[in-house]
Amino acid sequence: MKVWLNGSIVDARDARIDPADRGFLLGDGLFETMLALHGHPVFAGAHMLRLKAGTELIGLPLPYAPDAIEAACIEVLEANGLDAAPRASLRVTVTRGPGPRGLALPPEPKPTVLVSGATAGEPPARLSLATAMPRRNPWSPSARLKALPYLDNLLAKEEAREKGADDALMLSTNGAIACTSAANIFLWEDGKLITPSQNCGILPGITRAALLELAPDIGIDIAEEEILPARLAHISGAFATNSLMGLVPIDRIDGRDIPAHPMTARLAAAYELLLDAADEEG
């Protein structure tokens, strides 16, 4: 496998990350995961905008312009023979780079930027969720960033798998519904589509943002709300979203069957048209 590391395409076996890199030692960094269709990264501009905003928020100087990182993504796809693949995944990882021991930020950081790619399989047909113990902290800046530390999410997913579910339903520290381990969640309630608001400790996903714009255009009333788990007893459908899988229906939460809402399929079809348009523009 070939990767793009700090400006050059290299074999993954020869890629060297400094042992003092703060991303490895402290999780001091951010990442983006993108879907590529036939060699074209989908919504690359939105992903790069989120990455740039995140690095500015945490004071991490981005050493390459977003356009240069987008170009690096294309290079990685081509170097790995994925430029014609129907579906591929790209990951852009940015760390603050090597630094002295301790938590204090290095006065002159030398960030590390790594771009990798791989084939992407078809999304699952449906998902089951189980509520997990780890919670999302709305007060933490990292809850709203695509930050490297994913230990809570990892442990939540494993707990859900031990309960016989595909993924975790994560709550906020305030007890509201937040997300799955790696996806945003949407619920159908009284003919309206609702999704947890950003003050619930969620990552504002790229696909989530696209649906917030798309839903009203096809006559779907959509709202961002604080949603307590008790409301799950009254929902008429649910689905999860992220950049790689798009929209995937949720058919069970904590052992309770969730009906298939007919509008989920309509919204998924509209989103696929949006992806097709993005692929053609690429």
List the chain pLDDT tens, one digit each, 282 residues. Answer: 999 999 999 999 999 999 999 999 999 999 999 999 999 999 999 999 999 999 999 999 999 999 999 999 999 999 999 999 999 999 999 999 999 999 999 999 999 999 999 999 999 999 999 999 999 999 999 999 999 999 999 999 999 999 999 999 999 999 999 999 999 999 999 889 999 999 999 999 999 999 999 999 999 999 999 999 999 999 999 999 999 999 999 999 999 999 999 999 999 999 999 888 765 655
Both structure tokens of 180: 């799955």
Gap between the Cα atoms of 103 and 265, Å rounded: 48
Beta strand segments in 226-271, E: 237-242, 246-253, 256-257
Q: Cα 213 to the chain's mean position, in Å? A: 18
Residue type, 152: D
Instruction: Supply the DSSP symbol for 28.
Output: -
Phi-psi region of 228 (alpha: psi -120 to 50; beta: other; left: phi over 0): beta
Give 235: exposed, middle or buried? Use CB within 10 Å, 0-12, 13-18, 19+: buried
Whether 136 and 199 share a structural domain: yes
Number of residues that this document lists for the chain = 282
The gap from C-alpha 40 to its chain's centroid, in whole angstroms, comes to: 18
Contact 10, 3 (CB under 8 A): yes
- The confidence score (pLDDT) of residue 30 equals 98
Residue 104 sits in the same domain as residue 165: no
Query: Which of 88, 119, 150 marks a domain boundary?
Result: 119
- Residue 48 belongs to domain with CATH number: 3.30.470.10
Residues 202 and 262 in one domain: yes
42, 53, 200, 247, 251 from 130: Cα distances, Å? 30, 32, 18, 18, 11
Domain boundary among 119, 145, 163: 119
Query: Could you give the CA distance from residue 85 to residue 71 in angstroms, rounded to a whole number?
Result: 17
Q: What is the DSSP string of 95-121?
A: E--B--SSSSPPSS---EEEEEEEE--
Same domain, 268 and 139: yes
Residues 100 and 131 in one domain: no
Alpha carbons within 13 A on the beta-carbon side of 160: 26
Closest Cα to residue 134, out of 145, 124, 143?
143
Domain shared by 159 and 195, yes or no: yes
Q: Are residues 231 and 272 in the same domain?
A: yes
* Exposure string over 184-197, b if 16+ CB within 10 A, otherwise e: bbbbbbeeebbbbb
Residue 279 pLDDT: 58
In this predicted structure, what is the pLDDT of residue 276? 80
The position carrying tokens 């002295």 is 100
Among 68, 92, 119, give the residue marking a domain's end: 119
CA end-to-end span of the chain, whole Å? Answer: 24
CA 64 to the chain's CA centroid: 22
- 184 lies in the same domain as 89: no
Same structural domain for residues 178 and 52?
Answer: no
Q: The domain containing residue 153 runs over which residues? A: 127-281
Structure tokens at 204: 């504002």
- Contact (CB, 8 A) for 97 and 103: no
CATH number at residue 188: 3.20.10.10
Q: What is the CA radius of gyration of the chain?
A: 19
How many structural domains compose the chain?
2
One domain for residues 165 and 228:
yes
d(CA 21, CA 14): 17
